Amino acid sequence: MISIHNLTKLYGSVIGVNDISVDLGAGAHGLLGPNGAGTTTFLGLVTGQLRPTMGRVLVFGEPPFGNPRVLRRIGFCPAADLGLGTTTPREWVRYLVRLSGFTAAEAAARADRSLEQVGLAAASRRPLAALSKGMRQRAKLAGAIAHDPDLLVLDEPFDGLDPVARHDLVELVRSWAKTRSLIVASHLLHEVESLDAGLAVILGGRLVASGTAAEIRDLVASMPAEVRVRCDLPRRFAELACGVEGVESVRFDGGEVIVATRHPGLLVEQAVMPAVHAGLSVTEVVAADRSLEGIFGRLVRLHRGVKA
Amino acid sequence: MSESASGSREPARSAPLAAAWTVALFQLRRLLTRPRLALAAVGVVFPAAVMFAAGRAARGRLDPDLSVAMLYALIPEAVCVLGLLVTMCPVVADELERGTWPHVAVRPGGRRALLLGTWVAAVIWTSAVAILATLLALPVANVTDPFAVGRILAALVLLSCTGRAALFALPAVVMPKRALVASVGLALVVEVLAGVIPAVVNQATVSLRLRSLLVDWMHWKQKLPTEVQLFIDPQPAWVHVLAVTAVVAILLTAAVVILERRQFPPSEEI
């Protein structure tokens, strides 16, 4: 569906995305990255708003920039909130569908159908300014899906939503992803994870990891994990830890010993337990966060050159 | 990558011009706000107020030809230019500011429809304001044939709006965030300065065409001193109308081509 080779986008001397190569097949994909990582630029290139400085991006086999055949098949919901005061969701969605080239009658029918789909039919005649952020997000989503695209691209769709609205929107997007392709960019990882999407992690404009959530976990698992141990004799515990297989570094942080190891289980078995048996008072053992959030944090730190 | 871009569902589609008309209607609805209506009301009343004040100052003996010249300066020139500055210049800047640009830019033909539709909306809105201003100013102006003068001014208003809106489309797409300042500069340099230079350069200006049409339709040519005739073009009216049409076509085509190639980087990543 999307084929990207050595894609680079520069804004003058500022790098938006840097030498990304990835193939995204049909289905759901999550794009993870903190603010300023390059995710919005990536989406801008995929949705034909931006042209690559170097490299190539093909969507449905063709470059998307200025290509109506491709653009007709893409639905895009940007991150920015809509600043349309008196315009109603109904007017807005009809307007967008008309811009996609549909007749007035078809646009009206499609707008009503998509507003119904996102659960905004009842509020569709109220001004956008009078709606909650969640409702405006739904209006944006309705505009993105009303022309029945093959690929839906959502940039930070869950940003600023309350938990109920977030849950509803996740469910909505999940049901969409069952039949069509989807790319969701977010820094709220648990929502992306809940979409059962393939993941691509972008940091500093570079693609640092891609695959399923499990594959990314495996990738990170092969890297040293951080285990923090609080005890009364940190130097004694450090001596024990140094002898355990897989330990790559040991350092002190206040009263804590921070051990970077490839086998956290072995560390507990061969250092923590013997330390307890030897009479050390071990008050806390905290293993690295294995949630996707933790993995993301580790990738960020690794990318910044900080040892795990 | 075996999928074909032409494999999408093909429902009933409308012509590109219909999309531009949709934008025009949408933009006109967006103009129906209190601040914009108040600004339009000022534009409607201002020429009548000036003519009334001038009539009072001249104690009712204001020369009819001078009255027409004043109406021309106030309506097809001042009201139209000011109206277009606030309706045409923000065509892209407004979309960027309101967060609607990405929605429009990803639609097939969306950029072109946005520009042409906003041009249509700006022409309709400003022409309506200017024609209402003419209707209000004519009764208080001392002119010999108000109906004939009204028709002439209405025609000049339409030409002024179509031509100047196309002129202001260029800075709006080239430098959206400085479009107003650039358009004022362009109006001064092109329409005021170049327009009065008696050389080939003024042939491309709307102001020369409007002035020449006013002189032609008011039958003022014989009355004008020779040195003033340097500032008009004595060709027939259809040539001037054709020239304005050509200017509009060239400027709008250039603006559409530029806008279709423009890229606006997401500011948060810069």
- Look up residue A104 and give its DSSP letter: H
Tokens of B103: 């929605």
Distance CA A242, CA A258 (A): 11
Helix then strand count (H, E) for chain A reads 12, 13
pLDDT tier at B11, thresholds 50, 70, 90: low
Chain B positions touching A45 (Cβ under 8 A) are none
Average per-residue pLDDT for chain A: 85
**φ/ψ (deg, to 5) at B225:** -60, 155
pLDDT at B7: 43
Size of interface A-B (CB pairs under 8 A): 142
Q: Which helix (H) or strand (E) holds B227?
A: helix B226-229
Among the partner-chain residues B7, B8, B113, the one whose CB lies closest to the CB of A99 is: B113
CA distance B65 to B144: 9
Beta carbons of A76 and B26 less than 8 Å apart: no
What is the DSSP secondary-structure string of A118-168? TT-STTTTS-GGGS-HHHHHHHHHHHHHTT--SEEEEESTTTT--HHHHHH
| Residue A38 region by backbone torsions, left for phi larger than 0, else alpha for psi between -120 and 50, else beta | left
Phi, psi of A152 (to 5 degrees): -105, 125
Q: How many CB atoms lie within 10 A of CB A230?
A: 17
Confirm or reject contact between B57 and chain A (CB < 8 A).
no
Q: Do A87 and B30 touch (CB under 8 A)?
A: yes
Name every chain B residue with its beta carbon within 8 A of the beta carbon of A68: 108-109
Percent of chain A's residues with pLDDT above 90: 31
Contact list, A102 vs chain B (CB under 8 Å): 11-14
Element (H, E) at B46: helix B34-57
Highest mean pLDDT among A257-266, B105-114, B117-126, B179-188: B117-126
pTM: 0.82
Q: Does any CB of chain A come closer than 8 Å to the CB of residue B257?
A: no
CA distance A222 to A211: 15
* pLDDT score recorded for residue B1: 34
User: How close does chain A come to B16, measured CA to CA in Å?
Assistant: 7
Question: Does the pLDDT of residue A75 top 90, yes or no?
Answer: yes
Residue B204 one-letter amino acid: A
Q: Which residues pair with A260 in a beta bridge?
A: A226, A249
* B176 has a pLDDT exceeding 60: yes
Residue B167 pLDDT more than 50? yes
Nearest-CA distance A44 → chain B (Å):
8
Distance CA A87, CA A125 (A): 9
- Of A230, A245, A224, the closest CA to residue A298 belongs to A224
**Percent of chain A whose predicted confidence (pLDDT) is above 70:** 91
Stretch B49-58: mean pLDDT, rounded? 91
CA dist A227 and A3 (Å) reads 39
| A24 contact residues in B (CB cutoff 8 A) | none
How far apart, in whole angstroms, are the C-alpha atoms of residue A195 and residue A177?
8
B265 and A50 in contact by Cβ < 8 A? yes
Residue with tokens 């491709």: A70
Chain B residues within an 8 Å CB radius of A67: 5
The distance of A165 to chain B (nearest Cα, Å) reads 21
CA distance A147 to A145: 6
Cite the DSSP H helix spans in A146-263: 163-177, 189-194, 213-221, 234-242
Q: How far is B8 from chain A (nearest CA, A)?
A: 7
Q: Which one-letter DSSP state was computed for residue B75? A: I
Mutate which of A95, A152, A154 to test chain B, going by most B C-beta atoms within 10 A? A95
For residue B154, is pLDDT > 80?
A: yes
pLDDT tens readout for residues A125-167: 999 989 888 888 889 999 999 999 999 999 988 877 778 878 8
Rounded CA gap, A80 and B74, in Å? 41
3-state secondary structure A254-287: CCEEEEEECCHHHHHHHHHHHHHHCCCCEEEEEC
**With an 8 Å Cβ cutoff, are A106 and B11 in contact?**
yes
Name B69's Cβ contacts closer than 8 Å, sequence gap at least 6: none
Reply yes or no on whether the pLDDT at A262 is more than 60: yes
Residues of chain A with Cβ-Cβ distance to B270 below 8 Å are 11, 14
Amino acid B264: pLDDT: 87
Q: CA B203, CA B145: separation in Å to the nearest integer?
A: 30
CB A267 within 8 A of CB A218: no
CA distance B97 to A42: 21
Tens digit of pLDDT for each residue in B233-260? 888 999 999 999 999 999 999 999 999 9
Give the model confidence (pLDDT) of A174-185 as tens digits. 888 888 899 999
For A242, residues 6+ apart whose C-beta sits below 8 A from its C-beta are A250
Whole-number Å distance between alpha carbons of A138 and B269 = 25
Q: Which of residues 89-118 of B touch A (CB under 8 A)?
A: 97-100, 102-110, 113
- Identify all chain A residues contacting B109, using CB atoms and an 8 Å cutoff: 68, 99, 101
Q: Per the CB < 8 Å rule, is A103 touching B9? A: no
Closest residue on chain A to B29 (Cα): A87
- DSSP string across B123-187: HHHHHHHHHHHHHHHGGGS--S-HHHHHHHHHHHHHHHHHHHHHHHHHHHHHSGGGHHHHHHHHI
Residue A296 has a pLDDT of: 67
From chain A, the residues in CB contact with B265 under 8 A are 11, 16, 41, 44, 50
Which residue, A156, A173, A84, is CA-closest to B269? A156
| A28-32, strands of its sheet edge to edge | A74-77, A151-155, A181-186, A28-32, A198-203, A206-211
